[in-house]
Structure 1
Amino acid sequence: MLTSSCYTSDNPQCQQQKKQRLQILKADEIDALYCLPTFNQTEREEYFALDDKLLRYVRSLSRLETQYYFVLYLGYFRAKPVVPQFHLTQVRSDIQYLSQRYFLGKKPQQVSLAKATKSRVISQVLAQLEFSTLTPKHSAALQSRLFDVATIYSDPRYLLDEALAFFSQQRIALPGYSTLQSLVTTVLSSERQRIEDIMSKNLSVEAVQALQSIMENKGELSNLSEYRGSARGFASSELERELNTHQTLQRLYPTLKALLSLLQLSRGNMIYYASLVKHRSLYKLRRTPKWQGLLYLVCYLYFRYRENNDRLVTAFCYRVEKHREAAKAYARQRVADDLEAVRTKLKEAGSILRLFTDHDIEDSLSLGEVRKRAFSLLEAADLDRVSQHLCQNELDLRDYQWQ
């Protein structure tokens, strides 16, 4: 049902062109876009409706078959802005409806229109609906628009949707699918060439070798892949892996950042290119053209390094907080232990104090002798703990935390 001859042609040149075009839509999506509409009774009344002016124009056409074709093309184009390919034998239900409503039961002969007549009828239908076909001027304007869009987001389907929006806004009949493929392919090829020129001129030989080494080494790329868990779940092995990733990418990151600044890619494009590394197999990544594959890897590593930094900072903050909580718990336990020890030693501390009020002890007794007697009642460490408690009245939590 497509207007482009290359879509179904067996011509070798057309087949070669088809291979070079991007496969943007699946077969069922192409069919939904271009297939001949199938109307129910209500839809026939809507899409085949003719006002007095249109009806007079239809009846002014010379042959009955031409009149039928005009009304059929008009209704189908109203349903979707595509010029379909069909024969009268395919639309018998619609012919039956039209014969009863507009042609007093007269039915056309089952013939195809001559090429020149068909082209004239389609032009008349488009003129009545104030539509036009795609011209070189339109193509140039659309390409210019798609070039701008490609710098924002280079997904082929996104560009195709932009092209469809352009046709709708400009009231242009939708061209064949192969034409859309060629437009999108041309725009993406131009964008890739722009990117390749910048990368080849601004990436040093050492940087290219480093990137190619990462791409060729499956183990290294796997080690650099995104950690799926939470930063709070970092075991020592995962934390070590992230640190190794940081060490590997730290040397490359300034080069990647400077290159992306020169490329002037939108964030959406960068995310799109990075996703191709995440979701494609390494085999497919290696088979992409050199600079295209390196571009995907550059975007992927750029985001991976930033994510790596975020995860390391989060992990560091989490570990520090856990350490601080452990220190607090340790301090509380030490305070509790020391208070319990003080309570059990206070009795002995009282005996030590009596050494200074005992009149049986002569004043001539040396301090050393007094200390010996005190330490026989209470060990030096316990005595120090009790005295600290009596002097301060409370234990210093921060001191224990630092311990």
Structure 2
Amino acid sequence: MSRNKRLSILTAAEVEDLYGVPSFNESYQRFYFTLNDKELAEISRIRQRKYRCVAIALLGYFKCKPVLLNPRYKSMQDDLAFIARFHYRDLTFRRFSLKPDQKSRIYARVLSIVDVRNWNDKRHQPQLVEHLCTCAESWVEPRALFDAAIEYLARQKIAIPAYSTLQKIVSQVIGQHQKRLYDQIDAACSQGLSTMLLTLVSGEGQFTFQQLRQSARNFTGTELQKEIAVHHHIQPWMTDVTTVLESLSLSQKNQQHYAERVDYYGAKLKRQSLANQRLYLLCYLQSRHQQGLERIAEGFIHHLRQVKQRAHQMAQERVYRDWQKAARNVSKATDILHLFVDDSIDPDTSFQAVQQRAFQFLNVSDLNSVCRYLSNQKQSAEEAFWQHLDTESTLRAGLLRSLFCCLRFDGTDKTRRLAGALAQARLDLVAGNRLGDVSIDQRLLPKATRPLLSKPDGSIDKSKYEWFLYLQIPNRLNGQLTLPEVIRYRALEDDLVKPEIWKNQKGSLVEGTQQPNISEDPKRLIPRMADELTLRLHEVSHYLERSDTRDVILRPKDGKHHWRLPTASKKHLVNNPFFQQMKAVSIADVLRVVDRDTGFIDDFQHVLGLSSKSRQYEVDLLAILIANATNQGIYGIAQISDCTYEQLSTIQANYLRLETLNASNDRINNATTRLSIFKHYNIQEDILHASADGQKFEAKRETFRTRYSSKYFGTSKGVSAVSLNANHMAINARVIGANEHESHYIFDLLMNNSTEIVPDMLSTDTHGVNHVNFALLDLFGYRFAPRYAQVGRVINELFNITEDKNQQVHISLR
């Protein structure tokens, strides 16, 4: 493979960092160039002391990174001088160069000392390719495969080969993986599906590629109709699409990767090969279908909650107005009562005639309200609630019904009857746009609600019954009802490995995780963890008995134990005088210094892959980063600088993307970890403690993720940014809706962390806790240590606290 056709995996700085001679300060020189007895004995077998110094230097370099280097004398000069002083105090030598055979013999000794094998193409490449092909089934991105190759070589104790060798291997693996996918698509894709995909890309059909990519920006009916239109177009093909994708056995990560290619290329997807077009579109259709269903479900729930809130509000107002009006109409009721003592009325007059005269004073509704007033019985708010829903019939028969017909519900044992009624109602509405008699299950109606839904003849009002079914859904999507096709609302079992796959592939799946806790037999793991917990509770009980403890306070009161954390009064906060010595500098100057040391600006690649070494847009990129980070926007920054809005807008569209932001952020984080001061920020020695928390931000643009939250945004909308931080470094982040629970994204933040900073322990606030995270994070090697707002309540819920006859505290699990 020619140099210009090689797959680009690492940046130039990363290549230099991995394959360049490391730069050691004196403390690192002392650490890496100190020899143990075995190493000293092996090095001493070299005759000339200058070559011994070279061997010690190469051994130290190899300990730092397992790569066979080809350093020049100048790059080793400082290290050789240190080694000569440290090991051979009287040694002096002039500049010299190593011959290839000399370097090979020295590296042979180095490899024997560290018990590592040198790379051999014939022996090691087939095994590495096989391993990477397995890894590609999970994640086919080149950098992920490169990292997997480095990890494999480390486990097998094989020296890392040349960068070009790994480039060829990764390219070969990706090529084999894609060829397998192309062949399987050719075999599994029907003629009709292939034609639909081609028509979609070409734009010759009634439903265009642009319409497919358009998604709802908010919950208005007009925007949700876009999602309904997309759903109706792709739903007939989803069975075929799912069948093809299941035959490909794509992981969620790979499927997401290929689906994102459609948005990445946009209209330029036509320029891709036919095989790539079909692969990308199949994955995109699956992703778009799931996204559409999730937004349809969110829109359905949103409008139901809105109409329920309006109905309750209007019911309360109607009851109040009805009561006030009845009080005003009491005087008219006396005229009606006079009819019963009026001598001018013929005794033979029919009652209907008397009624008609009474209705001249008050109509039927007002007369009923006066009767309730006189008997001190207000109109039922529930009755007014259902009366208001009759006025919302347009919404029910229009948008809500269209959204409901797109959704499929499953129930648990307690909600199986409700799920059956919803399924039957969906069939009737799809077929005839009205409920049939078979859809009405009166067993679902509470005794108090049944009269409110009944007609005068005793039958159930189908319109109100349809409202009743809809209103059962939102509050039961907590697990009582599930949407199997919507990721957010499907059952936990749907996220697990299918039983038949687990039964047949359990060994390989467990081994593939490379997690000790998952690989261990549960029959041994659970008792061992229980013993560790019992021992820990015993230690904590003794700790709480110590008189000098100030971390947790136990207050016995009325025979009960109340736990709380000690709180200190707030003192007047002032800046540390140390910081007053520092000179204030602009943010742009800080970014320039960071770029000088890390080169993060180079990660902002052009969207079309155009490369330029001139960095002519460096100043504009810095302005764009500051504008967006300070929530000013490029329009605001253009008003106060010499940069035009058009120029900034073009550069932002070409260079600022999620992948470029991630790459530059990772580079800064990785460079920070190599600073000697980084480890001094650790709270505990040799333990990297991270934290995750959400921060609310008001949004200027309305998107489907923005939500109202009066507590944080007032009358505006906003989002929540959940960030994962370690030693004050933001290593990962996820933007979620302000109404979403942060705990659902904790595991994703950790597992999708692409930096070299790997936390050992994670803390969150109460919003980061759920019933799954403790076990899930523990199985994957993380320690979960949440910070509870009400620690006393949590302790009482989880543990039993007792005292023996010596008044010693004993804690046990409930």
TM-score where L is the length of structure 2 = 0.43
1:319-357 CA deviation, whole Å, 9 max, x = no partner? 233334434444444444544444444434333333332
Q: After the TM superposition, which residues 235-274 of structure 1 pair with which residues of structure 2 at under 5 Å, given as runs?
A: 235-274=220-259
Alpha-carbon spacing, 1:166–1:370, altered in 2? closer, same or farther (3 Å): closer
Q: 1:303 aligns with which of 287, 301, 306?
A: 287
For structure 1, which runs of at least 5 residues remain unmatched after alignment? 1-15
Quick one: which amino acid aligns to residue 320 of structure 1? L
Q: Is the 8 A contact 1:246 1:305 kept in 2?
A: yes
How far, CA to CA, are the matches of 1:133 and 1:283 in structure 2?
Answer: 48
Hey, what does 1:316 align to over in structure 2? 300
Identify the residue that residue 400 of structure 1 maps to in structure 2.
387
Number of the residue aligned with 1:156: 142
Q: Any idea what the Cα deviations from partners look like across 1:85-132, whole Å, max 9, x if unmatched?
A: 122233222232233344453444533333223222221221122111
Structure 2 CA distance, aligned partners of 1:45 and 1:188? Answer: 42
- Report the counterpart of residue 142 of structure 1 in structure 2: 128
| C-alpha contact 1:151 1:265 (8 A) present in aligned 2 | yes
For the residue of structure 1 that corresponds to 2:149, the secondary structure is helix
Which amino acid counterpart does residue 157 of structure 1 have in structure 2?
Answer: R
Read off the aligned partner of 2:82 and give its amino acid letter: Y
Q: Is the 8 A contact 2:133 2:173 kept in 1?
A: yes
Using CA pairs below 8 Å that are at least 6 residues apart, which structure has the higher relative contact order?
A: 1
Q: Is structure 2 residue 107 aligned with structure 1 residue 122?
A: yes
The change in CA–CA distance for 1:362 and 1:157 in structure 2 (over 3 A counts) is closer
Q: CA deviation at 1:362?
A: 4.4
Q: Distance in 1 between matches of 2:29 and 2:215?
A: 57
Partner of 2:371: 390
Q: Do structure 1's residue 367 and structure 2's residue 350 form an aligned pair?
A: yes
- For residue 379 of structure 1, the aligned residue among 360, 365, 372 is 360
Q: 1:362 to 1:290 in 2, by over 3 A?
A: closer
- CA gap of 1:328–1:99, structure 2 versus 1, over 3 A, is closer
Question: 2:57 aligned with 1:72, yes or no?
Answer: yes
- In the TM superposition, residue 43 of structure 1 has moved relative to its aligned partner by 2.3
Amino acid at match of 2:266: L
CA contact (8 A) 1:345 1:382 kept: no
Q: Which deviates the most, 131-140 or 168-177?
A: 131-140
Task: Summarize the Cα distance change of 1:363–1:114 in structure 2 as closer, same or farther, 3 Å threshold.
Answer: closer
> 1:347 and 2:354 equivalent?
no
CA distance in 2, matches of 1:329, 1:226: 35
Q: SS at the partner of 2:340?
A: coil
Mapped contact 1:95–1:107 kept (Cα < 8 A): no
**In angstroms, what is the RMSD of aligned CA positions?**
3.1
Q: 2:173 aligns with which of 182, 187, 190?
A: 187
Determine the C-alpha separation between the residues in 1 that align with 2:189 and 2:288: 19
Would the alpha carbon gap of residues 111 and 328 (structure 1) be closer, same or farther in structure 2, given more than 3 Å must change?
Answer: closer
Find the aligned partners of 2:77 and 2:344 in 1 and give their Cα distance: 134
Identity of aligned residues (%): 25
Q: Aligned pairs, how many?
A: 381
1:46 to 22, 31, 42: 31
Does the CA-based 8 Å contact 1:345-1:378 persist in structure 2? no
Contact 1:349 1:383 in 2 (8 A): no
Q: Distance in 1 between matches of 2:161 and 2:187?
A: 38
How far residue 25 of structure 1 moved from its aligned partner, in angstroms, is 0.6
Supply the distance in 2 between the matched residues of 1:188 and 1:161 (Cα, whole angstroms).
14
> Residue 356 and residue 217 in structure 1: after superposition, are their counterparts in 2 closer, same or farther (change >3 A)?
same
Match of 2:80 in 1: 95
SS at match of 2:171: helix
Unaligned runs of 5+ in 2: 391-814
Whether the 8 Å CA contact 2:19–2:69 is kept in 1: the answer is yes
The residue aligned with 1:28 is 13
In the alignment, the residues of structure 1 paired with residue 88 and residue 364 of structure 2 have an alpha-carbon distance, to the nearest angstrom, of 120
Q: Which amino acid aligns with 1:139?
A: Q
CA distance in 1, matches of 2:143, 2:216: 29
Selected match of 1:224 from 184, 200, 212: 212
Shift of 1:153: 0.9
Aligned equivalent of 1:326: 310
Partner of 1:292: 276
Q: 1:196-225: CA deviations, max 9, x gaps?
A: 111111112321232233334499344333
Note if contact 1:348-1:378 (Cα within 8 Å) is conserved in structure 2: no
Cα 1:55/1:331, change in 2 over 3 Å: closer
Deviations 1:170-210 (A, max 9, x none): 22111100111111111111111111111111112321232
In the alignment, residue 39 of structure 1 is paired with which amino acid?
F
Contact 2:67–2:161 under 8 Å retained in 1: yes
Structure 2 counterpart of 1:263, one-letter code:
L
What is the Cα deviation at residue 316 of structure 1? 1.8
Q: Distance in 1 between matches of 2:340 and 2:38?
A: 128
Distance 2:347 2:38 in 1: 135
Q: CA deviation at 1:264?
A: 0.8
Contact 2:72 2:97 (8 Å CA) reproduced: yes
Q: Secondary structure at the match of 1:86?
A: coil
Aligned counterpart, 2:547: none
Deviation of 1:31 after TM superposition, in Å, equals 0.6
- 1:355–1:21 Cα change, 3 Å: same
Aligned residue type for 1:223: Q
Partner of 2:340: 356
Going from structure 1 to structure 2, the CA distance change for 1:200 and 1:352 (only over 3 Å counts) comes to: same
Quote the Cα distance in structure 2 between the aligned partners of 1:129 and 1:246: 60
Query: Match for residue 192 of structure 2?
Result: 206
- Distance 1:387-1:186 versus aligned 2 partners, 3 A rule: closer
Task: Show the counterpart of 1:11.
Answer: none
User: What are the residue-to-residue correspondences of 1:274-289 with 2, within 5 Å?
Assistant: 274-278=259-263, 280-282=264-266, 285-289=269-273
- Residues 136 and 173 in structure 2, CA contact (< 8 A), matched pair in contact too: yes
Bigger radius of gyration: 1
Aligned letter for 1:201?
A
TM-score (norm 1): 0.83
The structure-2 alpha-carbon separation of the partners of 1:379 and 1:33, relative to structure 1 and needing over 3 Å to count, comes to same
> Is the 2:216–2:224 contact (alpha carbons within 8 Å) kept by the matching residues of 1?
no
Alpha carbons 2:133, 2:177 under 8 Å: kept: yes
Instruction: Kindly provide the amino acid, as one letter, of the partner of residue 306 in structure 1.
Output: Q
Deviations 1:120-145 (A, max 9, x none): 22212211221111233322222221
Instruction: Note the C-alpha offset of 1:56.
Output: 5.0
User: Which SS does the other structure have where 2:363 is aligned?
Assistant: helix
Change (3 A) 1:346 1:175: same
**1:165 and 2:151 matched:** yes
Quickly say closer, same or farther: Cα 1:387–1:238, change in 2 above 3 A: closer
In 2 relative to 1, CA 65–384 (structure 1 residues): closer, same or farther, beyond 3 Å?
closer
Alpha-carbon distance in 2 for matches of 1:155, 1:292: 15
Aligned residue identity for 2:212: L
- The answer as to whether partners of 1:65 and 1:109 remain within 8 angstroms in 2 is no
| Residue 51 (structure 1) shift | 4.3
Checking the alignment, whether the CA contact within 8 Å between 1:160 and 1:184 is kept in structure 2 is: yes
Q: Whole-Å Cα distance in 2 between the matches of residues 253 and 21 of structure 1?
A: 37
The secondary structure found in structure 2 opposite 1:183 is helix
In the alignment, structure 1 residue 178 sits paired with structure 2 residue 164: yes
Q: SS where residue 137 of structure 2 aligns?
A: helix
Aligned partner of 1:212: which letter? L
Checking the alignment, whether the CA contact within 8 Å between 1:68 and 1:108 is kept in structure 2 is: no
Alignment check: 8 A CA contact 1:143 1:183 kept:
yes
